[in-house]
């Protein structure tokens, strides 16, 4: 949609902010040499009318940058972010909007993506949020990073777009209080022990997980700490109320929060998460939705939109540790889960045994490899569930699914752009887009989980 630009003060432009970029900057559209261009304005929010100084375009650039001067008319629901570290952290670019205004912005974003992707008539439900617009204490996982040395050693979240730990980010309001206390205890222990952050020292990151039962920490280091130092760590974490701790040794580069080898310091190295009455073992590396109260809501919606799963064969791709698979197994005749991570498949099998789901089985391998093998073996599911990573389904996967001729495909998307792309592929294969239900698992952010159902058209 073209946005009009009018002159304000001399040298300034008046901009209507239509959406937010992935960086968190507000986005407006202006006419300039070469046609319609996007303008990114840091500090502006969707719905704002702002005055900004727009810089001349860089050679070859397709977009412009604007420096916010003032907000002329604030967006409906604009507020001061509830987190004092919001600007330094950058993890919640929509934190300056109330929860209802955030959800409205996400719905507009979804609508735009579907329209531009060739689905102008897609019916998108309202974004479902937490009861009471809760914004605190809902996360069951936290990852913090170390920087500095000695008394200047820090522990917290990286500043947006950097590998620098932002001041005041050791405690996140979205995490349980005990995680902040545990992080403070670990930082105090590290300073007493004279440790420093990688690369000059061994400290890299601290991961914490909250279970329905249990509290777990995993300290990732780049070299061994020594027995006496580890004993001090164990004592600090026990005193902070944790039930288990793991030390993970990292030798590879990159920003991976866990190393290649892990050793239990105390406890059993996992916590127990309960979802819809089913029990799951959760280790430091386990994928689990981070929003504890909204995860069962997401799964209820996904299972609820399915029409063909009850009493039938169900295929669950990208199944992780079997969370959805085991909930489906309560009413399906048989569930086959496919997952690429070997340790997750092992956990899924243990979880099936733990929950008495004898009709659930799990296959290890990439979906794009395992799926054709299952098809050649004659597997013909009535219902297919997919919960892929942000990049969506691997090339060729929609065609193999369609070749199995299921009555429906239920898609749980963490990347809406990939969902729209894959929706176009399913449409070409004879599957029509039905319900689209967005769910807010990440308050303050631009992310939105989306459940969509595709039904096989008659004659396809």
Question: Is 414 one of the annotated active-site residues of the chain?
Answer: yes
In sign, the C-alpha dihedral spanning 10, 15, 21, 23 is: positive
150 phi and psi, to 5 degrees? 55, -135
CA geometry: angle 183, 187, 188, nearest 5 deg = 115
The structure tokens 């959406």 sit at 19
Distances 129 to 3, 94, 99, 414 between C-alpha atoms, Å: 30, 14, 8, 15
Specify whether the CB–CB gap between 176 and 210 falls below 8 A. Answer: yes
Cis peptide before 252 (omega within 30 of 0): no
218, 207 in Cβ contact below 8 A? yes
* CA dihedral angle for residue 267, residue 268, residue 273, residue 274, rounded to 10 degrees: -100
Listing DSSP states for 110-125 in one string gives HHHHHHHTT-TT--BP
d(CA 193, CA 225): 10
Residue written as token pair 């206390």:
181
**Catalytic pick from 83, 89, 172, 414?**
414
d(CA 340, CA 114): 29
SS3 45: coil
Q: Can you state the percent helix, strand and coil of the chain, rounding each to 5?
A: 25, 30, 45
Q: What is the DSSP letter of 381?
A: -
**Secondary structure of 247-290 in the HEC alphabet?**
EEECCCCCCCCCCCEEEEEECCCCEEEEECCEEEEECCCCCCCC
Which residues have a catalytic role annotated? 414
């Amino acid at each position: 949609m073209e946005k009009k630009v009018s002159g304000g003060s001399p040298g300034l432009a008046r901009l209507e902010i239509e959406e937010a970029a992935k960086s968190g900057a507000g986005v407006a559209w202006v006419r300039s040499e070469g046609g319609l261009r996007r303008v990114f304005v840091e500090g502006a929010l969707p719905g704002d009318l702002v005055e900004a100084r727009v810089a001349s375009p860089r050679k070859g650039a397709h977009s412009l940058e604007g420096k916010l001067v003032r907000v002329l008319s604030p967006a409906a629901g604009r507020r001061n972010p509830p987190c004092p570290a919001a600007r330094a952290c950058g993890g919640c670019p929509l934190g300056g909007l109330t929860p209802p205004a955030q959800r409205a912005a996400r719905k507009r974003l979804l609508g735009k993506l579907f329209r531009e992707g060739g689905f102008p008539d897609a019916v998108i439900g309202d974004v479902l949020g937490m009861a009471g617009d809760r914004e605190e204490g809902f996360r069951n996982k936290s990852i913090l990073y170390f920087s500095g040395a000695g008394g200047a050693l820090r522990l917290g979240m990286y500043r947006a777009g950097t590998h620098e730990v932002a001041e005041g980010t050791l405690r996140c309001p979205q995490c349980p209080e005990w995680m902040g206390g545990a992080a403070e205890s670990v930082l105090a222990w590290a300073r007493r022990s004279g440790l420093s952050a990688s690369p000059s020292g061994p400290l890299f990151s601290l991961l914490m997980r909250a279970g329905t039962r249990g509290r777990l920490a995993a300290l990732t280091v780049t070299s061994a700490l020594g027995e006496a130092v580890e004993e001090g760590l164990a004592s600090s974490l026990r005193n902070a109320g944790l039930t288990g701790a793991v030390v993970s040794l990292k030798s590879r580069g990159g920003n991976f929060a866990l190393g290649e080898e892990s050793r239990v310091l105390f406890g059993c190295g996992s916590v127990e998460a309960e979802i819809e009455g089913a029990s799951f073992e959760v280790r430091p590396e386990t994928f689990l939705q981070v929003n504890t109260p909204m995860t069962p809501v997401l799964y209820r919606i996904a299972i609820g939109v399915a029409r063909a799963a009850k009493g039938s064969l169900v295929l669950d791709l990208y199944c992780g540790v079997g969370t959805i698979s085991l909930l489906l197994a309560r009413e399906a005749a048989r569930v086959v889960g496919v997952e690429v991570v070997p340790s997750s498949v092992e956990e899924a099998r243990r979880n099936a045994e733990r929950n008495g789901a004898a009709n659930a089985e799990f296959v290890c391998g990439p979906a794009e490899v395992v799926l054709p093998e299952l098809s050649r073996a004659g597997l013909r599911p009535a219902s297919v569930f997919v919960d892929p990573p942000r990049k969506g389904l691997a090339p060729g996967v929609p065609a193999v699914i369609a070749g199995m001729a299921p009555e429906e495909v239920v898609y749980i998307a963490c990347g809406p752009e990939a969902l729209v792309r894959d929706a176009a592929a399913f449409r070409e294969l004879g599957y029509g887009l039905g319900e689209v239900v967005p769910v807010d698992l990440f308050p303050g952010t631009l992310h939105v989980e989306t459940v969509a159902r595709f039904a096989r058209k008659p004659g396809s």
